[in-house]
Structure 1
Amino acid sequence: MKIYYLLFIVLISFQSCSSSDTPMMEAEMQMEEDEMMNTSTFEGDFMSSAHPTSGKATINEAKTILSFTNFKTDDGPLLEVYLATDTSASTYITLGALQGVNGNYEYALPTNIDYAVYNHVIVWCVTFSVNFGYSVLK
């Protein structure tokens, strides 16, 4: 009788360690991985191109806002902010007019942007087709 009781305890122990826990652990791991992918921010320091430009560009975790922090550049005619594929703005998305040349600013981002492709933030002079300064997002 004691042997049957012992076998019963052992079987219950093995049953509680069965593979039924594995799908839950895999699901939890996938959720954590997805959260890490969604919470990554992109940022980069501004570098001068045709004009002295400095500061930091940052995209928030929700990928809805591009922020310029401690931003500074020269004034010019018709300056716009571009998300571009390179420093020449070969392919770009305009975020509108530059809000200012000295300070902190925010720009609304369109949805579904691939920041591995559009990884340059450019202050672009539309009038003269000149890159004032840029930041490479990483």
Structure 2
Amino acid sequence: MIKNFFILSVIFFFISCEKESEFTKNISNDSISNTATLLYSGSFAPTSGISVTGSAKIYNDNGQKKVLLDNFSISDGPDLKVYLSTTNSPTTFVNLGSLTSSRVYLIPSAVDLTVYKYVLIHCQQYNHLFAIAELM
């Protein structure tokens, strides 16, 4: 019985892992240069039962677009991801990577920021939206 439980747990772990691609790798440079230009910003609003503070800011930093989570704090949760989304829900999005202690996330060059107008914090494992920042 315990052996079966262990085997099922290991199988579940490998099945639930997300395969990383160009759009899901968390390649982060935890800084924004002094010469970076602010393009968009928005304050985070929580979903039900979540506590969040701070804002998302998009910068052009020497030709590389970056998201900065500024003065950011959020309730704990498993498998939290940083998404750029076309709407205020995670239906069409680009996964910028796992939410870590990093405050800066690189945006792939192919992403059109005139279409992706939201930064979302989303629990991928349980498909639960934690916070939304509409970029203006």
Give the TM-score taking structure 1 as reference length: 0.65
Question: Match of 1:111, SS?
Answer: coil
* Aligned mates of 1:82, 1:65 — CA distance in 2: 12
Which has the greater radius of gyration?
1
* Aligned mates of 1:88, 1:40 — CA distance in 2: 24
Aligned residue for 1:91?
92
Amino acid at match of 1:91: T
Tell me: CA distance 1:58–1:40, structure 2 relative to 1, closer, same or farther (3 Å): closer
Whose strand fraction is larger, Structure 1's or Structure 2's?
Answer: 2
- Structure 1 residue ranges without an equivalent (≥5): 1-38
* Aligned mates of 2:80, 2:67 — CA distance in 1: 16
Aligned pairs (5 A) from 1:5-44: 41-44=39-42
For the Cα contact (< 8 Å) 2:38–2:58, is it kept in 1? Answer: no
Question: Match of 2:103, SS?
Answer: strand
Task: Give me the identity figure in percent.
Answer: 31
Question: Match of 1:41, SS?
Answer: strand
Deviations 1:80-131 (A, max 9, x none): 000011122110100000014xxx7000111032222111100000111111
For the Cα contact (< 8 Å) 1:53–1:133, is it kept in 2? Answer: yes
| Shift, 1:40, TM fit | 5.8
Whose helix fraction is larger, Structure 1's or Structure 2's?
Answer: 1
For the Cα contact (< 8 Å) 1:87–1:131, is it kept in 2? Answer: no
For the Cα contact (< 8 Å) 1:85–1:92, is it kept in 2? Answer: yes
- Structure 2 residue ranges without an equivalent (≥5): 1-36
For the Cα contact (< 8 Å) 1:123–1:133, is it kept in 2? Answer: yes
Question: Match of 1:46, SS?
Answer: strand
Q: What is the RMSD computed on CA atoms of the aligned residues?
A: 1.6
* Aligned mates of 1:135, 1:83 — CA distance in 2: 10
* Aligned mates of 1:72, 1:90 — CA distance in 2: 24
Aligned residue for 1:21?
none
Aligned residue for 2:71?
70
Aligned residue for 1:24?
none
Give the TM-score taking structure 2 as reference length: 0.66
Tell me: CA distance 1:49–1:118, structure 2 relative to 1, closer, same or farther (3 Å): same
Q: Which runs of 4+ in 1 moved over 2 A?
A: none
Say whether residues 1:110 and 2:136 are aligned partners: no
